[in-house]
Structure 1
Amino acid sequence: MPQSVVLSLRLVRALVLARWLVPLALGGSSLVVLAYLCLATPALADHPLALAGLLILALVGPLLLFLVFNRLVHELRSLATIERARLKQQRQLTLLNTVGAAVNQSLDLDTVLQRALDSTLDVLNLETGEVRLIENGALRIRRTRGLSAEFVSDENTVPLGYCICGKAAQRGALIAVSDLERLPAFRSSRCACEGLRTIVAVPVSNTHQVLGVIHVGSPTPRLLDADERALLTALGQHIGAAIEKAQLHAELGALNQQLETRVSERTRELTATQQELERKASELQAVLAAERSIEEKTRAHIAHDLHDGVQQLIVGALFETQAARDALTRQPDRAAAHLTTTQDLLRSIELEMRRTIYQLRPLALDEHGLVPALRECTARFERLAHIPCAIHSEGIPGRLKAEIEVAVFRIIQEALNNIEQYAQATRVELLLRFAPSQLLVQIQDNGIGFDVNAVHAQPKAHLGLIGMQERAAGIGGALEIASRPGGGTCIRLVVPLEG
């Protein structure tokens, strides 16, 4: 007990004793003095009023002194009571601050829960208890002290409203049982089997909800007073705030981890995308370079054909027309023969020009559409490659956009060129299936086939196939290549069509 309270109590006891002894001593002394005066001064007997006044003074003085002492005793007792209340409140506040400091030293939830349990047990001077948190609508044990493993296993999860701790959590109010033996409903409870008689369930809450319960007990009966109940209720609120902060910190940590994971995944995706774009750009540059090379070769080939074919035929035709002109004056019968030879040369020039123009762009594609142009292309393929090529058309082969027809034609043309050069096939089948929403093209051969994975691993070595895929992507289509060594090849092209 504080020294100030001890001194106050001692002073009160001294004043209680003095308020009787001092007035009695004063009154007795006054009466003795009055008696002495009466004996020593016989004349006082002739003055009764003076004698009465002295008697009143002898009695009133001790009475007034008694009243003063009595008032002092009352005031000191009030001060002692106030001091005890102040000290008790100060002790409770100190306990709350101590508990608050203990549970707020860490942001780890399990550490906070253990310190909360230890602090509550220390406040009540107990050794047995548990902390439960509400998870999925039930109270689950998170931390214990002094409880058996069987109790923890059997009572790990308790529904809200069940038993004392469940009722405290459901109501959000402290429940204290001083002696379980006096409650028949709880005599066979798991707490009673654990040897506990006093049970205190303190709800742990924040400003808007109950988070859990601190459940402590004692093997001996104990009655909590109102101050202890108020202290435990405030303690539950303090601990609730600390638990909420720890939970928020854990959630924040989880969110940060998720964010870091997503950022890492997104970074990997962006890196992979960048690498894919760089690979595509490299492939595209290679395809463009190959196309430019093909264009230059085509131009050179056309120039060579024009020089060696068309130009020679034109020169021959000029000589024949000049010979026919000379023959008209000298040998008229030979002029007709020279003109016939000139006509033959001009027809050869026309055929050579058609062949050259076809290499640049088939006229049938512009004049008649995709299917007739492909029939002409496959016929030319059969004539040059000596490989039968069957073409099948399903649906209504309407006219398509020019860029789609050109891209599809070039893809099929490139596929036929590859078959002629590499496939060693003896049969080719070309299927075109027209639908309102898409065009399906399938080119299949019975050649030697190849390893598709090897093509994807070394795209620069197979620019023809890469070019076909780029053309398909350019019109919004998808090109699939299925092949295996010794099993032929099937190229499947799907092109979406606008309604």
Structure 2
Amino acid sequence: MSEQVWPRRLTVAPYVLLAALVVVTVAIKRDQPRSLAVDLVLCALVGLWKLGMFTLRPAWRTRHRPMAVFIAGFVLLLAVLVVRDPWFGFLTPAGYFYTFILLQWPGELIGIGAVAVIAGWAQSYDIPKTTVLGLLGCAAVIGVNVAGMCLAAWVGQRSEQLSQQRQEAVDALTETNRRLEAILAENAGLHEQLLTQAREAGITDERQRMAREIHDTIAQGLTGIVTQLQAAEHAADWRRHVTAAVGLARESLTEARRSVHALRPQALQSATLSEAIADVVRRWSALHGIDGQLTTTGTPRVVTPETESTLLRATQEALANVAKYAQAGRVGVTLSYLEREVALDVRDDGVGFDPSHRTTSAGGGFGLVAMRQRVEALNGTLEIESEPGSGTAISARVPTPGAPA
């Protein structure tokens, strides 16, 4: 425990009070030299005791045994002074002060009780103590002092214990929060590492699959074509080799188209974009019990596989966000074939959200970011309109360069 620092006024005040009582004693007992001399000697002992045990020993103030000795000596000298002259009872506040601050519980209670007895004796100095009634009155005054001060000491001790318990609880909660934050930060780092590894593993697997696909189909087909054409250069029946090369070329082209189509969403492999979106809306509506309708406007036409895949994925993401966050009762999906672009609009009557906060009820986390990246990769635009209580509208527009002018 570090050395306790005391305000100077609390250190000096008892000396000032003692000096004032010395002046009072001299004024009252100036015609009693012997008694006055004894009082002055006792006052000097009190001052020297305080000076040697407390004022000049700041390092002792946190050591309980030296402070117990100091307070015991101070209370004993104070008791002698009060018995001789009751006005020295004005020095008892210093005794309370030292006892409250310097003694540990329950020793503090004993010190407080002793000082209270001295204070009560001083307060009952004018009560005659030669009769039973007088003795009872004196005992009552002392009892009130002891009970009141001991109760105050108990209340103070209890308050200190409660304060310490609250502080320990706050410290424990702070430490728990710190550890939780550290764990969350570590988990976030591990999650990011896992995502990175998963993406890298997915990319590697896809590259290996495509490499095998190209090797087993297109590369082998091209090798066969080269072989047939080389054979045709030196063969009399070169037409047979050319015919075989043409056949291999057609087979390789078919395999190449099959590989490209294998990269498209399953829903688009055997259906048009409108049919695929209609099927997604129908299945989503049946799954979540929310009324969902698709409306197709304009004249449907063939668009690039990338455009079809992007708009289908946008529909799936928008509907997933509605199911998770919107609390909607109805959803309308509109697929519009415009003059130079294809537009997809998804509107719901849900709770809405603030678009500036990407983690709110629209679920604008990675889903909306990925949707925007897909659309913008095709030079398209993605717009989000929403406000709390007014539903949400998501509009994706993708240009179609091959559209008629």
Normalised by the length of structure 2, the TM-score is 0.37
* Greater fraction of residues in strand: 1
Normalised by the length of structure 1, the TM-score is 0.32
